[in-house]
Chains A and B, each alone.
Chain A
Amino acid sequence: MWQYLVKRIISLIPLLLVVSFVVFMFIHIIPGDPARLLAGKEATVEEVEMARQSLGLDKPLYEQYFVYLKGLLSGDLGYSIKSGAPVSKLIGDRILPTLGLTFLSILWALIVGILLGIISAVFRNRWPDHLGMFTAVSGISLPNFWVGLVLIQLFSVQLGIFPTGGADGWKSYIMPSFALGAGIMAMIARFTRSSLVDSMKQDYIRMGRAKGLGSGSIVFGHALKNSLIPVVTVAGLQFGFLLGGSVVVETVFSFPGLGTLLIDSIQFRDYPVVQAEILLFAVQFILVNLLIDIVYSFLNPKIRYE
């Protein structure tokens, strides 16, 4: 097990290095002179030169990258153009609400998605299945920002149950997490169904039936356990969808998280913040997939020996 873990983590290092290099290049690909951008529109030639030197932009590219990498490893993500504050502090202030939101979204998506998948698989090709799968395909097709706006109209404007936005108290997390999780819930439901349908065709299930086990015991006691292994992987892969979606949903609910920070920074052309955030999203995504791989290898030992 430990051997597999170490191998898996080491194999990520080249990917992380390339990803960090791609994000590092971000500031160099932007049209125009980054030093001028960072120094401001009204800066004099000397000020631009000073900005260039302070940012190390006058040094060769590979040297700049090593400095950037060294900064990353020590938690230095540069400074915001807009506020002058360290980017790490800006991100630190916003990361908890976003993590809370994504956690809640994936939690309800897993619970409802798996339940919907079980119902569909048990009632395969009958109306509960058709209804369940239609709900799932609709969930995948719904624009999350529209779901958010409809929820605001219904539960904030009409009924006054939940606040329209912000992140004060648990109530303000309910609607954004619903809007964010709907798509993943749908994917999980579809995958649980097909995985469970496959499991139900296996010999050990037929054996169970022959022994006279009830449907409930067959589904929950035997088939479901094996069907959930691939569902874990899907949930992990969809995490990226959740990270992207959080940017949109946070904008709808004016939620003070990483997503709104990203959009504000793009509008202000606060590139150090944009750069750091994109790297953070990618690293989060890579690490979650690593975690899923590890969980998967626990659940399915065959993987470790491949």
Chain B
Amino acid sequence: MSSLQSKSMEVEQIKIKEPGRFQQFWRSFHRKKPAVISFYFVLLLFVIMIIGPFITPYDAAEPDYNSLLETPSLTHFFGTDEYGRDILSRIIAGAKISLSVSVSAVSLGAIIGTMLGLISGFIGKWVDKLIMRGCDVLFAFPDLILAIGIVAILGPGLKNVVIAVAFFSIPSFARIVRGATLEVKEMLFVEAAESIGAGRMRIMLKHIFPETLPTIIVYFTMNVGTAILAAASLSFLGLGAEPSSPDWGAMLSVSRDYIGTAFHLVFFPGLIIFLTVLAFNLLGDGLREMLDPKMKD
């Protein structure tokens, strides 16, 4: 009895010493420098997205006809645009549009794609075939062409950009989650759940879904970068945000007319799109190496 007690105390002590799963994850994540820097950059962007309107040095929408097309200076760090609006303030205000459009588009695509992938992988048979053939049809269209086609049908605007970008994310999420589901399905704990009479829905959502979550998180992060580029491209083509809005892609679209005369109008919005996408890609790479070693190229 006493030896048992001492053993259980030992176990407890070990438990206390051992850091939690999250702590372990956090520690090894901090060893990946590019991913860590990207993580804090993305975090900063989300903070800016929330508190943006309170920290902009100037009103992002208010024209100032006394300072048209000014080059970067100490009063306007990124210069001003054709209406004298401060470009830095517009980029800060635009963070909200660019991030919310891309994150909501990928979320929508991820939710629908994950559900389809789970159903396809778990149920199999004709359901699997039907869903996968549907994905093949969507895959037959190049991503941006599919998005352009959808916006051509629904009409320009940010809401439709979200739908268009979500649409092309669906098949890739479905395929990746299906693959993960097929693997998890064969595991012993799923068989155990089945043997005690757990329903299909319960097994899918409570047992299989949590196991596929790391794959989904990695893929989600990487897709946000792609979505930002796609949404900016659509706005640049005049199919997304209103040209007058501080959306990063729309700002670049308008600035084309000032190339050669006011290059800062082109430079800064493009730079922020590049840095944001780069941050999401590096973060995704880091997470992939940690959460899903199999997905590593």
- A positions within 8 Å CB-CB of B: 15, 18-19, 22, 26, 29-31, 134, 137-138, 140-146, 149-150, 152-153, 157, 190-191, 194-195, 239-241, 243-245, 247-248, 251-252, 262-263, 266-267, 271, 274, 278, 281-282, 285-286
Min CB–CB distance A19 → chain B (angstroms):
5
* Number of A-B residue pairs with CB-CB distance less than 8 Å in the complex they form: 133
Q: Which of B144, B153, B282 meets A247, CB within 8 Å?
A: B144
One of B67-75, B82-90, B236-244 at the interface: B236-244
| Cβ contacts under 8 Å, A144 to chain B | 233
| Cβ contacts under 8 Å, A241 to chain B | 142-144
- A150 touching B149 in the complex, CB below 8 Å, given contacts A245-B144, A285-B141: no
Can you report 15 A-B residue pairs in the complex whose CB atoms are below 8 A from each other? A18-B137, A26-B149, A137-B278, A138-B278, A141-B278, A153-B259, A157-B259, A241-B143, A243-B144, A247-B144, A248-B144, A248-B233, A248-B236, A285-B140, A286-B140
Q: Which of B145, B153, B260 meets A29, CB within 8 Å?
A: B153
Q: Are A146 and B274 in contact (CB under 8 A)?
A: yes
Q: Complex formed: what's the CA distance from A149 to B236 in Å?
A: 12
One of B108-116, B188-196, B198-206, B262-270 at the interface: B262-270
Q: Which residue of A lies closest to B236 (CB)?
A: A145
| Cβ contacts under 8 Å, B249 to chain A | 143
Range, interface on chain B: 35 or more
Which of B149, B236, B270 neighbours the largest number of chain A CB atoms within 10 Å of its CB?
B149
Q: Are B149 and A146 in contact (CB under 8 A)?
A: no
- A243 touching B137 in the complex, CB below 8 Å, given contacts A138-B278, A252-B256: no
Q: Are B145 and A153 in contact (CB under 8 A)?
A: no
Q: Are A137 and B281 in contact (CB under 8 A)?
A: yes
Q: Is B12 an interface residue (CB 8 A)?
A: no
Q: Are A19 and B137 in contact (CB under 8 A)?
A: yes
Q: Complex formed: what's the CA distance from A144 to B133 in Å?
A: 31
Q: Which of B137, B145, B266 meets A146, CB within 8 Å?
A: B266
Q: Is B166 an interface residue (CB 8 A)?
A: no
Q: Which residue of A lies closest to B255 (CB)?
A: A149
Q: Complex formed: what's the CA distance from A152 to B296 in Å?
A: 37
Q: Is B285 an interface residue (CB 8 A)?
A: yes
Q: Are B267 and A141 in contact (CB under 8 A)?
A: no
Which of A142, A145, A281 neighbours the largest number of chain B CB atoms within 10 Å of its CB?
A145
Q: Is B94 an interface residue (CB 8 A)?
A: no
Q: Are A243 and B270 in contact (CB under 8 A)?
A: no
Q: Is B225 an interface residue (CB 8 A)?
A: yes
Min CB–CB distance B263 → chain A (angstroms):
5
Q: Complex formed: what's the CA distance from A152 to B149 in Å?
A: 28
| Interface of B (DSSP majority class) | helix
Min CB–CB distance B285 → chain A (angstroms):
7
- B positions within 8 Å CB-CB of A: 34, 133, 136-137, 140-145, 147-149, 151-155, 225, 229, 232-233, 236-239, 249, 252, 255-256, 259-260, 263, 266-267, 270-271, 273-274, 277-278, 281-282, 285, 296-297
Min CB–CB distance B180 → chain A (angstroms):
20
Q: Are A140 and B281 in contact (CB under 8 A)?
A: yes
- A281 touching B141 in the complex, CB below 8 Å, given contacts A137-B281, A248-B233, A263-B237: yes
Q: Which residue of B lies closest to A240 (CB)?
A: B142
Q: Which of B141, B256, B263 meets A282, CB within 8 Å?
A: B141
- A143 touching B233 in the complex, CB below 8 Å, given contacts A278-B145, A281-B142, A285-B142: yes
Q: Are B236 and A278 in contact (CB under 8 A)?
A: no
| Cβ contacts under 8 Å, B285 to chain A | 137
| Cβ contacts under 8 Å, B270 to chain A | 143, 145-146, 149-150
Q: Are B153 and A30 in contact (CB under 8 A)?
A: yes
Sample of 7 further A-B pairs with CB below 8 A, known A19-B137, A150-B266: A137-B285, A142-B274, A150-B270, A190-B297, A195-B297, A240-B145, A243-B142
- A244 touching B144 in the complex, CB below 8 Å, given contacts A146-B270, A149-B266, A153-B260: yes
